[in-house]
Amino acid sequence: MTKVKNMRVRLAVLLLAAGLALSMAACGKKNAPKPPGPDPTYPKTYPKPD
């Protein structure tokens, strides 16, 4: 491989890795998780009582 082609391959790999890392970071939640409130349907029993 020539030096220029080697640099292009390295640059392409670096850009691909950065793109994958940034796309995964964009999927995260922005705030802390909130516990469920006083909902009478939580927790549910299984199986439902008849």
What is the model's pTM?
A: 0.50
Predicted pLDDT of residue 12:
95
Identify whether the C-beta of residue 11 lies closer than 8 Å to the C-beta of residue 19: no
Predicted pLDDT of residue 15:
96
- Tokens in use for 23? 């796309």
What pLDDT digit, counting tens, does each position of 1-50 carry? 688 889 999 999 999 999 988 888 777 667 777 776 676 666 666 776 66
d(CA 3, CA 22) in angstroms, rounded, equals 29
Distance set, CA 47 to CA 10, 31, 38, 44, 50 (Å) = 57, 34, 21, 9, 9
Predicted pLDDT of residue 18:
92
